[in-house]
Structure 1
Amino acid sequence: MEHFTSSLKENEDDSDVESIESKASPPNITWQHTWPFNETENALTQSVFARIPSEIMLRIFKLFSVPDLCNVSLVCRRFKMIVDQDEIWKLKCNSSKKIYSKSFKQIYLDWIYMKCLRNAKLRAMRDWSDSACDIDLPPSFPIRPTVNQQCEAIGGFHGYPNSSSSMTIELSVDIEKTARELIKLLEKALKFQQQWQQPSIVKHMITRYYRFMQLKASYPSNILLVPTLDIEIVWQTHLLRPAMYQADCLRLFRRVIDHSLLISDMEKFLKDQAFRDTCQLYEQQFGQQYCPLPSTDKENNATSNFHHYPLYIDTDTNPTYSYWDKTHFEFSSEQTNDYENPFSFTEGDLITDGKWLDLCKQFMSKSLKTAPLDDYHRTWSSGIDLEPGAINRLKKSYERFLYIAAKYPLKDGHEFIRPTYAIDIMWHSHMQEPLNYVADCVRIVGYVIYHSPWPINKDDTKNKTCIQANKLWKDEFKVDLMIDHLFNTIDDKLDEVF
């Protein structure tokens, strides 16, 4: 297995995406033991561990990580035979379904193979300018054409999206406040993107996230545990893949761990103490530092002997977000030997997600140049506008996206409309609370819309899908999908505050 994974890692930096699959072949391993029966029987009876019941050994081995299982299987034949049991590998797989003629160990290796291929492809791709499917300030934003269209009884929609300037549906998530906090979070993380792309740091971040999630799973959901900035960023990558997140949580933690970027007034009051408690619990369980406390930050920096990458962020005096950024965790550049990523997302997903904010800004700026706006608005493109008028237009675009998903469900053979980066802002904000997101989708759309970032498709397939989606959108709402977020549904007075 080590030879298999190392052969894939060697190809991660290749620029030729098409050649990756041919260079790394799928694992072809037979799990049938070929030792002679008499030899095996003698080895088992003479083992120093023969007096320990196999059931006890199996329960112990279930707690081991994959690297530990690889090492243990080399000790003796008895250990090897126990390690190969399906009961152990079923816990490691991303699927609980047994495939005929395949052991769960083989299923696990097939899963790892697919993760490695995706990781290599993501690292090899260079052009992300149109990946999403591929404002801005004051009044005179265009108003979309009025259409006498009767609202069909679709899902949870009781009104046609274009019939009102405000949302006609109610979401369980405050996507307006969440969107502002999400962009702030990504702005903070953007400062450390170069450091966080280093393989040793990416692996360390995923390890810390896994440990934090283990803590979350071991305590009731009403116990406030505070993630650090680096852990929150990994959590974001996981949350934006709802199908993976749900499956991984159920497989690893036996329940879906909920999340929110927003905190209540009471949680805000308790946040400092909750962070100290999180530090203590993490260090007691894993024997490693979680994050320096505010009073010891300078002392820790002064006594460090390693080359570190600081995560220091200036914060608001009255923060309303759920993560911790008053002090920083100090990453060592040393390699970790016992690294294991038990999740379905890859290191490449985490690195590529770090590009989203810059690409979103580029899209928002580009859309200003193509929309029918006056010259004043065309020159305003210094970032993502989250003022009341702009937020309302983004919310309405997202509402139309949900309406299309409900009206043209995938189960009926319809093509999925890939959202623009503008719609993505609200979609990502909605997914910040996974339990509420799933409930809203089922109630409003009729099924869960599973978000899958950075699809690796052929250019001609991607372009064809985008053209079809844009036509469907324009026929329905009379405005081009790429600039939909710049149109007021009705003359919106929110812009007049400026």
Structure 2
Amino acid sequence: MELKQELEWNEAQKISINVDLVAAAKRQLLFLEAVDRRNRWLCDGPALQKAIYRYNACWLPLLAKYSKCQILEGPLVVPLDCEWIWHCHRLNPVRYKSDCLEFYGRILDNLNVVSSVQGNSKRETEEIWNTLYPNEPYELELTSPLSDDISGEVSSTEKYSTYDLILAVKRQVPFFYQVSRPHMDHDVFLEGAVARYKGFLHLIKRNRERSIKRFCVPTYDIDLIWHTHQLHPVSYCNDLVAILGKVLEHDDTDSDRTKGKKLDVGFSVTTKQWEETFGSRYWRAGAMYRGSAPSPLTRTPWTSNMMTKRVLASNDYQKRIHLPEGKVVEVMLEFVGVRNLPEGHKGSLFVLFSKTQPDTIFNVETRLNILPESGEKQVALFQCQPTGQLLFDLVSDSPSNLFISRPSKTMGSTSISLENFLFPVSSLTVEKWLELVPSPGTVTSKPIGLRVAISFTIPTPAPYVLHIAHSWLFSKICCFFPLPGRVHFAKEWTRVIDAAGNDIISLLMRDFKKEKGRNNTNLKKEVIGLTKSDESRIVAEFDGIEWSFIDSQWSLKLERNVNKDGSIFELIGHRIVKLFPGRKLEYELKHCNGQGAECDFITAVEFSAQDPYGNAVALFDLKSETFQIKEEWFVLPGMTVAFILSDILRKEGYKGLSHTLSGMDLERDCLVQEVDRCHEEDTKGNLNSAVAQEVELKAEFAEGITPVPEKGGACGGGCGNTQKSGGCGSGCGGGCGNTQKSGGCGSGCGGSCGGSCGGGCGNRMKSSGCGGGGSGCGGGCGSSCGGGCGNTMKSSGCGGGVGSKVADGKTAGNPNISDHQEGAAIQANEAPTA
């Protein structure tokens, strides 16, 4: 910061706010989690209408009576349904103030009011409620059907706001998804957010002082604090009048993120003003738009008497499995400027950056331009392990002419240590000049300086990324499992390895000969597990009806029909986990018109009292035989399930995973896609027609028509080591690299979304790049990534669904703006595709 910018920042931090915003933000997150994860019935339908009625007819009058003369000793505890409507009403502070003044003559505050999710005693409040409203229960009961028409009840309510609370609720429903990541409730992150909120108010104050009409748009960390402040209506009104001379409007009705529209332009203008005023970056890791919220699996909460039970501590055998604990951090990186270049220097400048030590999440070198040289804002957003150093090489790309081609030249290098900021967490942002160590042949009077701006999130547990390595050869086009006819070795172990290639466990299926006179359904099987310490034991047993495994804590029911909720298998124990075909919930592939091989994925979803609508705990990538598991308790069950299904589906030609998709089961659907790709390649002269014929035979085999001859593979254009990767997938294009490390071309490399990543997927399993989701290409969507998805840092999540490339800061549907801003704010129910 220059002195003037530092003074502006210090002035902004003098803004006085009479609320502990860090503590209040944490309470808000807990409440939003309770609504989103356990009480979505409050967001639509008759329940929402009933909640609005109870809020107007019961809660606000009770609150007015309590605030005028304290009618009970303890705090008032607001019923959950009323609290949700009250929450949304207060987020239009101007309208809430006017309604309160009209009906009650004063602003009804939240002083001495306690949230229903904090576990405090509700007895005193419930007694007062029942006295005032004997015909209306304190808790909204859902045991009996609610009427779709409550107009009669509404008409009998004298003090009823005309503000459209139904639309207000619907605009707020997606907000929790944007602020629900683990780092959001960390003290250091929130303290930084409060400081940035004061900076945001300071910009608006400066604009008012200069009579500048400007549309200011917050990032999501600022917006979270802004919401928190508004939930304290008296303090918000008093504070904003003191700061700005008026109550700051918070209108969330504008939802158009399209490039060039008011919201997009407003964010760009706010970014520019912030950086000019304070000399620091406005964009912040962990605070940008994540794309639209995932589609729910069900709108009806799943209930069971088993949901109150909790799984026992990890059993002894699971504890013997060595699972290295990993951390992941999101990093946002920008190169702001360069100084002390050699005299007479010509040509453009860019920086190549990488990690100086192996990283199982991020292990690529990528390029980012420097703002003053390129004339456009380029920001890198990626995930990595919070260890080691980031290495920066400043490169000069000298201009060439028609006759002479000049190679790029590295002018110097420098680095920055991640541990210095993250262990312990001291600061989540840094912007400084770094001196470069000059490369041989580079001569300057002063050391070249590179100004680097970095922001981080709090390190959080990384998912366990595991890979199944079979000893038998794979079919090169079968989705996940080899078709019958392949030669395999029944007595060989199947290894499960982690992302770094370390063995976790080996598994073996043991079949017992059926007893004479018994049918096949009574055939007994066992899965044997062998740990690295050479300790073996029975992991699972099949009694002819269902699988029981891990000390009988779990049973796996293998249904042949799709359940009503869309699941295909159930894993039942102290927890209930259902397996759904495709990518669901947080793994959902967004903003792709041609989603391609969804048959290559299974999502494991836990249902519990805490997550009655489901919580995704694992994703199985069937094509690459790689799976991600979020929680340690599911690692051994997840590996066992994957191995059992592998054995079943291998023997049944993959038809065991039966799920209807437009009249086709998953195997046939996947093979039809492969046939189409092969014919398309054949018309381009890229694939021999005999290969396409083989694929058609495979598809016929899936129908039970004819056996499959053993022929060569159907991968066009260098898919790497397909024996280890499980095959090419739905169209790798060319040059997918080593698919053992990348997890196969899968759905990313030019396959699932209409050539989404082109060629050169890079190392997918070890990076957040093409097809892997994360913060890179996000599964490779449409034209948003272009070619070369191995370079995931040129966009902040192309495939998160918005814009051509975030590198410009001028996207079609800016993915970085929050859902609110001064004057006319936004609420993204759906993010537009590129």
Structure-2 residue corresponding to 1:195: 41
Report if aligned partners of 1:397, 1:423 keep a CA contact under 8 Å in 2. Answer: yes
Higher helix share: 1
Alpha-carbon separation, structure 2, partners of 1:256 and 1:291: 25
Alpha-carbon separation, structure 2, partners of 1:481 and 1:342: 38
Equivalent residue for 1:277, pick from 110, 117, 127: 127
Report if aligned partners of 2:129, 2:138 keep a CA contact under 8 Å in 1. Answer: yes
Range with greater deviation from structure 2 (437-446 or 192-201): 192-201
Kindly state the Cα deviation for residue 276 of structure 1 after the two structures are TM-superposed: 2.7
Structure-1 residue corresponding to 2:218: 419
Q: Which aligned pairs between 1:244-255 and structure 2 lie closer than 5 A? A: 244-255=95-106
Report if aligned partners of 2:241, 2:247 keep a CA contact under 8 Å in 1. Answer: yes
Structure-1 residue corresponding to 2:186: 387
Structure-2 residue corresponding to 1:470: 271
Aligned pair 1:289/2:137, yes or no? yes
Aligned pair 1:399/2:188, yes or no? no
Structure-2 residue corresponding to 1:235: 86
CA gap of 1:388–1:222, structure 2 versus 1, over 3 A, is same
CA gap of 1:281–1:424, structure 2 versus 1, over 3 A, is farther
Kindly state the Cα deviation for residue 260 of structure 1 after the two structures are TM-superposed: 4.6
Residues 354-393 of structure 1: CA distance to partner in whole angstroms, max 9, x if unpaired? Answer: 11111334xxxxxxxxxxxxxxxxxxxx434322211211
Equivalent residue for 1:445, pick from 229, 233, 244: 244
Structure-1 residue corresponding to 2:173: 354
The one-letter code matched in structure 2 to 1:195 is: W
Residues 120-152 of structure 1: CA distance to partner in whole angstroms, max 9, x if unpaired? Answer: xxxxxxxxxxxxxxxxxxxxxxxxxx3211777
Alpha-carbon separation, structure 1, partners of 2:54 and 2:282: 39
Kindly state the Cα deviation for residue 405 of structure 1 after the two structures are TM-superposed: 1.5
Alpha-carbon separation, structure 1, partners of 2:105 and 2:167: 26
Report if aligned partners of 1:171, 1:440 keep a CA contact under 8 Å in 2. Answer: yes
CA gap of 1:241–1:411, structure 2 versus 1, over 3 A, is farther
Structure-2 residue corresponding to 1:495: 425
Alpha-carbon separation, structure 2, partners of 1:151 and 1:403: 13
CA gap of 1:387–1:435, structure 2 versus 1, over 3 A, is same
SS of the residue 2:96 aligns to: helix
Kindly state the Cα deviation for residue 429 of structure 1 after the two structures are TM-superposed: 1.0
The one-letter code matched in structure 1 to 2:24 is: T
Residues 224-273 of structure 1: CA distance to partner in whole angstroms, max 9, x if unpaired? Answer: 43211111110010111110000111112222111158759xxx999544
The one-letter code matched in structure 1 to 2:50 is: H
Alpha-carbon separation, structure 2, partners of 1:393 and 1:338: 49
Range with greater deviation from structure 2 (169-178 or 187-196): 187-196
CA gap of 1:384–1:252, structure 2 versus 1, over 3 A, is farther
Alpha-carbon separation, structure 1, partners of 2:221 and 2:112: 19
CA gap of 1:474–1:492, structure 2 versus 1, over 3 A, is farther
CA gap of 1:193–1:269, structure 2 versus 1, over 3 A, is closer
Kindly state the Cα deviation for residue 160 of structure 1 after the two structures are TM-superposed: 2.9
The one-letter code matched in structure 1 to 2:99 is: D
SS of the residue 1:160 aligns to: helix
Report if aligned partners of 2:218, 2:267 keep a CA contact under 8 Å in 1. Answer: no
Structure-2 residue corresponding to 1:174: 20
SS of the residue 1:412 aligns to: coil
Report if aligned partners of 1:406, 1:446 keep a CA contact under 8 Å in 2. Answer: no
Report if aligned partners of 1:249, 1:257 keep a CA contact under 8 Å in 2. Answer: yes
Report if aligned partners of 1:240, 1:451 keep a CA contact under 8 Å in 2. Answer: yes
Alpha-carbon separation, structure 2, partners of 1:433 and 1:221: 20
Alpha-carbon separation, structure 2, partners of 1:178 and 1:337: 36
Alpha-carbon separation, structure 1, partners of 2:174 and 2:132: 30
Alpha-carbon separation, structure 1, partners of 2:110 and 2:63: 10
Alpha-carbon separation, structure 1, partners of 2:126 and 2:88: 25
CA gap of 1:193–1:472, structure 2 versus 1, over 3 A, is farther
Q: Which aligned pairs between 1:248-397 and structure 2 lie closer than 5 A? A: 248-260=99-111, 271-284=121-134, 287-291=135-139, 306-307=144-145, 332=146, 335-340=149-154, 342-361=161-180, 382-397=181-196
Report if aligned partners of 1:226, 1:278 keep a CA contact under 8 Å in 2. Answer: no
The one-letter code matched in structure 2 to 1:217 is: A
Unpaired segments ≥5 residues, structure 1: 1-145, 162-166, 293-299, 308-331, 362-381
CA gap of 1:346–1:446, structure 2 versus 1, over 3 A, is same
Structure-1 residue corresponding to 2:254: 455
Alpha-carbon separation, structure 2, partners of 1:359 and 1:445: 28
Report if aligned partners of 2:197, 2:225 keep a CA contact under 8 Å in 1. Answer: yes
Report if aligned partners of 1:394, 1:423 keep a CA contact under 8 Å in 2. Answer: yes
Report if aligned partners of 2:90, 2:230 keep a CA contact under 8 Å in 1. Answer: yes
Alpha-carbon separation, structure 2, partners of 1:398 and 1:180: 16
SS of the residue 1:448 aligns to: coil
Alpha-carbon separation, structure 2, partners of 1:423 and 1:492: 22
Structure-2 residue corresponding to 1:11: none
Structure-1 residue corresponding to 2:3: 148
The one-letter code matched in structure 2 to 1:481 is: Y
Equivalent residue for 1:479, pick from 280, 293, 315: 280
SS of the residue 1:168 aligns to: coil
Equivalent residue for 2:61, pick from 210, 214, 217: 214
CA gap of 1:417–1:269, structure 2 versus 1, over 3 A, is closer
Alpha-carbon separation, structure 2, partners of 1:277 and 1:411: 54
Alpha-carbon separation, structure 2, partners of 1:495 and 1:201: 43
The one-letter code matched in structure 1 to 2:33 is: E
Alpha-carbon separation, structure 1, partners of 2:91 and 2:214: 21
Alpha-carbon separation, structure 1, partners of 2:126 and 2:165: 30
CA gap of 1:269–1:186, structure 2 versus 1, over 3 A, is closer
CA gap of 1:449–1:171, structure 2 versus 1, over 3 A, is same
Kindly state the Cα deviation for residue 349 of structure 1 after the two structures are TM-superposed: 1.3
Alpha-carbon separation, structure 2, partners of 1:454 and 1:492: 38
RMSD of equivalent CA atoms: 3.6
Residues 68-99 of structure 1: CA distance to partner in whole angstroms, max 9, x if unpaired? Answer: xxxxxxxxxxxxxxxxxxxxxxxxxxxxxxxx
SS of the residue 1:205 aligns to: helix
Kindly state the Cα deviation for residue 457 of structure 1 after the two structures are TM-superposed: 5.7
Kindly state the Cα deviation for residue 411 of structure 1 after the two structures are TM-superposed: 8.3
Aligned pair 1:184/2:3, yes or no? no
Report if aligned partners of 1:173, 1:436 keep a CA contact under 8 Å in 2. Answer: yes
Pairs aligned (count): 284
CA gap of 1:333–1:194, structure 2 versus 1, over 3 A, is farther
The normalised TM-score by structure 1 is 0.50
Moved over 6 A (4+): 484-487, 491-494
Equivalent residue for 2:50, pick from 182, 204, 212: 204
Report if aligned partners of 1:178, 1:262 keep a CA contact under 8 Å in 2. Answer: no
Unpaired segments ≥5 residues, structure 2: 155-159, 288-330, 333-420, 428-458, 460-834
CA gap of 1:207–1:411, structure 2 versus 1, over 3 A, is farther
